[in-house]
Amino acid sequence: MVQNTATISTPSAEAVKALSQVKQIRINNMTYPVQLYGLAPDHSVKGIIRGAPLRFSERELLDNMYVPNHEVYACRRLGNSNIVVFTFAGNKVPYYVTLFGSEYPCSLYKKTVPVCDACHELGHRATACPQPNTRVCHQCGVKDPKPGHDCKALCSLCGGGPPYGCQGLPKTLPGAFRPSSTAV
C-alpha cells in the first residue's frame, strides 16, 4: 500500500522545531509540498470541528481556544480546509470548542482510508497514484477487464458488498478509528 508518508523520530527538541518549519522537500530535482505533524500521545482522543476561520494559523487557534475541563495537546488543519482536528487528553471529546468567542460543535474524529479511483488500491488518491495507467473495472475492481466481463459491484475496502458504506472496516483496518472514545 502506497501512502506517500514518512516517519521521523527524534528525541531532540531542536530537531522537532527545525522539522516543523519544513514546508517542502526536494527529491530527484522535483519539489513537493509537505504537511508535518506530531503523533498523538497515548491516552488521548481526537475531535474535529468544521468552519474554523482560514485566516488563523494552528498556533493562533490553540492560543485563542477554550475548552472547559479538557487539556488540549495539539491541533492541525486538514489540508487548506476550515476543518481542524484537536488532540485532547483522556478519552472524551467535548461537545463544543470555543474559538475566538464562538462555539463550534466538536465530534469524534474518525480517520478515513483513501481509495484510489484509478487503480482501486488502498492508501492513496488518484492524484498520487503510483500506477496511473493501470486499467481497472470501476465496478468490481478486476484488473485489465475484458469488454463485457461479468461484473458485480464490490467494496474496495473489504472485497465484499455493498460497494459503499462498508461495515467491515473495523475488522479489515483496525485502528482506523477509536470506537471506545465518546463525547462528553
The CATH number of whichever domain residue 86 belongs to comes to: 3.30.70
- At 98-109, the pLDDT tens digits run 999 999 999 999
Residues 6+ apart with CB under 8 A from 154: 139, 140, 141, 160, 161, 163
Q: Is 38 a member of any domain?
A: no
pLDDT classification of 172: cutoffs 50, 70, 90: very low
pLDDT classification of 13: cutoffs 50, 70, 90: low
Q: Is 3 a member of any domain?
A: no
pLDDT at 181 over 70: no
Q: Is 73 a member of any domain?
A: yes
CB 96 within 8 A of CB 106: yes
pLDDT, position 111:
79
pLDDT at 94 over 90: yes
Beta strand 92-93 pairing with 182-183: parallel
Q: Can you read off the three cell numbers belonging to residue 61?
A: 487557534
pLDDT at 182 over 50: no
CB 144 within 8 A of CB 135: yes
Q: Is 34 a member of any domain?
A: no
Q: Is 92 a member of any domain?
A: yes
Number of domains, the chain: 1
Percent of the chain past pLDDT 70, that is, above it, reads 80
Q: Is 2 a member of any domain?
A: no
> How far does Cα 72 stand from its chain's mean position?
19
**What is the span of the domain harbouring residue 99?**
44-111
Q: Is 126 a member of any domain?
A: no
Q: Is 9 a member of any domain?
A: no
